[in-house]
Amino acid sequence: MAKLLDKQRYKCALAAMQTVQAIDRALPILHSGPGCAQKLSDTNGSSGYFSPNIFPCTSINEKDVVFGGVKKLNSTIDNALKVIDADLYVVLTGCIPEIVGDDSGEVVSRFEDADKPVIYAPTAGFKGNNYKGHEQVVDAIVEQYLKKSDKKQKGLINIWADVPYQDLFWLGNLRALEKLVAELGLTPNTIFGYNRGIENINKIPEAEFNLLVSPWVGLGNVKKMERKFGTPYLHYPTLPIGATETSKFLREVGKFAGVDEAKVEAVIKEHEDYYYYLIGRYADLFLENRVINKQFTVVADAQYSLGITKFLVNDLGLIPAKQFVVDDTPKNYRDQITEEFKKLNFGIEAEVSFETDGYKIHSEIKEHDYHGYPLVLGGYYEKEVTESLKGNFLNISWPVQDKVVFDRSYVGYEGGIRLIEDIYTVAVSRFN
Ligand code: SF4
């Protein structure tokens, strides 16, 4: 029987146009109905050199459903190459052309000899959400554009983390991961955001290894790169937020890359000294406040749910109530992620629910005894329910509607401090 899904937290796979847009000077070409891009775009820092309003689109209609839309796709790619100056053109297919059976791959192959690369990713909405769409775009780059290289650059590390734009903090988080890796004396390589783009894409096959910082998104991509380029990968499932997890992260990356242990420990010590100096200055607030001293819930994709749970338990000593993962994590990854929620300090384990229905999540939050004011970190949808419980709410996951984020980050030592600032700013503000 058909079910209603209340407060969905993701979009359809075609929203991978945002993944393409996050690559400097890469242009999505949409083979879809005319309303798709409009529906899938947010005002979350998505204007700029290219924006969803100017993405070329075949705008297919009833006639194309009957006779096929391949002619239109051919002319749209042809004209995009003529009038829009980009470094990479990525054709993304929506529901209609895939339902009527347009062979978009064949059309794209006609542009093999174009001056600029043209690739395509099947991203029909019925195939999955934008987490899967993001993977499809990276797969398309690996399969259709990149070639195996005999040249390997010592210390070059490709970094992959979660989904641009779906995660509002994507840019800052990636830059923070780059900085951490660079401090170990390694050379980070990412493809998203300012001044990265095609040059960095070209370096992907030359990397010593792929570093995936994500519970599950991108795992298929790094496995594909291992098969195609022979590049090994390190899968670090937890977004490192705060000192405990960031120090673990540095040790694990350092070990995998063969960095001298003393060097890794020196980097950690310098950061931890400053981190705990800052924490010490506010220890009285953490210990004596009466508004954040009991249990918390995170409602977010697997990346933030896991990363923030570990941070709040390990660094702030808070107790987890039930945590909710809302990204429709594929079933084969769920056991592994559930195990990660059990790896908390002080023998604490967090219960996690993979739940996409906001109604059910809110019912559980309402019924749970938080032994005081609940702390809820989630999407904007959780604001109302948290307020009804007189709790403290922080909007950290999609949809984010109460803040503007340029390149702020919650990653690393500094990111942990930013998250503490945000949480305790909410707490101290409630009595103003
Ligand atoms: S679900 Fe299909 S029709 Fe709807 S926006 Fe996505 S691609 Fe377009």
Sole residue written with tokens 């030592």: 413
Residue ranges lining ligand 1, Cβ < 6 Å: 12, 14, 32-33, 36, 39-40, 94-95, 124-125
Name the residue among 30, 4, 2 with its Cα closest to residue 15. 30
pLDDT at 44: 83
**How are beta strands 323-325 and 352-354 bridged, if at all?**
parallel
Per-residue tens of pLDDT for the chain, all 432 residues: 667 788 889 999 999 999 999 999 999 999 999 889 888 988 788 898 998 889 999 999 999 888 889 999 999 999 999 999 999 999 999 999 999 999 999 999 999 999 999 999 999 999 899 999 999 999 999 999 999 999 999 999 999 998 999 999 999 999 999 999 999 999 999 999 999 999 999 999 999 999 999 999 999 999 999 999 999 999 999 999 999 999 999 999 999 999 999 999 999 999 999 999 999 999 988 887 766 767 999 999 999 999 999 999 999 999 999 999 999 999 999 999 999 999 999 999 999 999 999 999 999 999 999 998 899 999 999 999 999 999 999 999 999 999 999 999 999 999 999 999 999 999 888 766
Is the four-CA dihedral 395, 398, 400, 404 of positive or negative sign? positive
Ligand 1 centre to CA of 120 (Å) is 17
Phi then psi dihedrals of residue 182, to 5 deg: -65, -35
Site to substitute for ligand 1 among 8, 11, 12, most atoms within 8 A of C-beta: 12
Q: How far is CA 241 from CA 39, 180, 186, 314, in A?
A: 32, 12, 20, 10
pLDDT at 45: 87
96 within 8 A of 12, measured Cβ to Cβ: no
Tokens describing residue 227: 């098969």
pLDDT at 42: 81
Q: Ligand 1, closest atom to CA 125?
A: 1
Strands (E) in 161-237, as ranges, are 187-189, 209-213, 233-236
pTM: predicted TM-score of the whole model, two decimal places = 0.96
pLDDT at 364: 98
pLDDT at 389: 94
Domains and CATH numbers, the chain: 13-145 (3.40.50.1980), 281-429 (3.40.50.1980)
In the chain, how long is the greatest CA-to-CA distance? 71
Which residue, judged by its Cα, is nearest atom 5 of ligand 1? 36
Q: Which H or E element spans position 202?
A: helix 198-203
Is the four-CA dihedral 398, 404, 408, 412 of positive or negative sign? negative
